[in-house]
């Protein structure tokens, strides 16, 4: 068995209450995606026959790093233990020896009254925070941006300390591929399996550019900058210029790569260095009987560098 020492993209669990901490969770996710890490959290559980607490704890055990964020709410309570889900997730991480980063919201941070616990839950939250402060060096934060910046630095330091893992190289997908036709064909069939692969691809533009109308959740999930991202639909071409597939696929670019993409239009043949990307976001679907929240999958190609426009 051939093996090598690599620094893997590690699964990181994000633990917090949800509704009150949503802007903070989104900022954490955006920064972890830019660091090319694997995110675990309640947004990504999907449908499961097991109860939510069982799923949460199993996801914690699968992670290599645990990020806990405490605001002003203790959270949903497990009837059996009397502890919140957040505290049980934290306990599971500690029990399994998972490196843990903890962050507590500044008491001076103004937040809506409905997101501040009172009574017994407030007392439990105070006790939980005191326990955290005794066990860890804790960072306080005042805003989503402040939290995101602190987490980036802390995660990068944590990654340096994690040991490299020896793995079977036959199971590792290449970061680059000489046969982009084969890789793209596989990516279109199984995007979750063949994501994060870098390729040089020739494409034919088949739509007008989109920008401000792009869904924020997709842009953030792909690790791109809101308000500074463009997208266009393309057909992938073989090296001989024929269509690889009739299936359209969206390419995305932000910042200076978006400047390059501005010059394309329907019918243009373009070449770019890209990275395959896949994300799943929660969306509300409506029908005659009402609405339901479900996971929706999106795949695309992220421009790493524009090479040619004809």
pTM (two decimals): 0.54
Closest CA relative to residue 298, chosen from 248, 259, 225: 248
| Domain 3-166 fold | Rossmann fold (3.40.50)
> Coil, strand or helix: which one is 274?
strand
* pLDDT at site 273: 94
Kindly report the number of other CB atoms within 10 A of residue 306's CB atom: 20
> Coil, strand or helix: which one is 287?
strand
Alpha helix (H) residue ranges in 190-270: 216-221, 255-261
Q: Check if 3-166 and 173-309 are the same fold.
A: no
* pLDDT at site 36: 75
- For residue 132, what is the enclosing H or E element? helix 119-135
* pLDDT at site 166: 37
* pLDDT at site 169: 38
Q: 234 has which bridge partners?
A: 205, 249
d(CA 135, CA 142): 22
259 touches 67 (CB < 8 A): no
Q: 290 has which bridge partners?
A: 287
65 touches 255 (CB < 8 A): no
Closest CA relative to residue 233, chosen from 255, 263, 262, 265: 265
* pLDDT at site 142: 92
- Taking the alpha carbons at both ends of the chain, their separation in whole angstroms is 46
d(CA 42, CA 54): 12
- For residue 302, what is the enclosing H or E element? strand 290-309
* pLDDT at site 284: 54
Question: What does each of the 310 residues of the chain score in pLDDT, given as a tens digit?
Answer: 344 443 457 889 999 998 899 999 989 988 888 777 888 766 554 444 446 788 889 889 989 999 999 999 999 898 889 999 999 999 999 999 999 999 999 988 888 889 999 999 999 999 999 999 999 999 999 999 999 999 999 998 888 777 544 334 344 444 444 578 889 998 988 887 888 888 999 999 999 999 989 988 888 878 888 899 999 999 999 988 999 988 999 999 999 999 999 999 999 999 999 999 888 776 555 555 555 545 677 899 999 999 999 8
* pLDDT at site 282: 63
Domain chopping of the chain, boundaries: 3-166, 173-309
CATH code assigned to 173-309: 2.40.50.140
């Amino acid at each position: 068995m051939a093996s090598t020492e690599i620094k893997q993209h590690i699964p990181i669990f994000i633990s917090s209450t949800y509704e009150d901490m949503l802007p903070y969770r989104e900022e954490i996710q955006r920064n972890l995606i830019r660091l090319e890490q694997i995110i675990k959290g309640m947004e990504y559980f999907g449908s499961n026959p097991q109860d939510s607490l069982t799923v949460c704890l199993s996801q914690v055990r699968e992670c290599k790093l645990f990020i806990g964020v405490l605001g002003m709410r203790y959270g949903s309570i497990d009837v059996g233990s009397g502890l919140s889900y957040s505290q049980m997730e934290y306990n599971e991480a500690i029990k399994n020896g998972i490196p843990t980063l903890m962050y507590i919201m500044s008491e001076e941070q103004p937040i809506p009254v409905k997101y501040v616990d009172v009574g017994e839950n407030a007392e439990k939250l105070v006790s939980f925070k005191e326990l955290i402060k005794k066990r860890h060096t804790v960072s306080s934060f005042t805003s989503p941006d402040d939290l995101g910046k602190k987490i980036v630095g802390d995660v990068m330091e944590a990654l340096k300390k994690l040991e490299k893992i020896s793995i079977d190289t036959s199971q590792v997908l290449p970061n680059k591929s000489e046969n982009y036709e084969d890789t793209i064909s596989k990516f279109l069939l199984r995007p979750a399996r063949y994501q994060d692969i870098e390729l040089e691809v020739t494409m034919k533009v088949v739509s007008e550019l989109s920008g401000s109308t792009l869904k924020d959740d997709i842009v953030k999930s792909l690790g791109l900058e809101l308000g500074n991202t463009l997208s266009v639909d393309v057909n992938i071409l073989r090296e001989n210029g024929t269509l690889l597939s009739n299936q359209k696929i969206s390419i995305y670019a932000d910042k200076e790569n978006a400047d390059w993409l501005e010059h394309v239009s329907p019918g243009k043949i373009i070449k770019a260095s890209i990275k395959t990307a896949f994300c799943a976001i929660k969306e509300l679907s409506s029908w005659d009987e009402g609405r339901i929240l479900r996971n929706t999958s999106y795949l695309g190609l992220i421009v790493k560098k524009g090479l040619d426009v004809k």
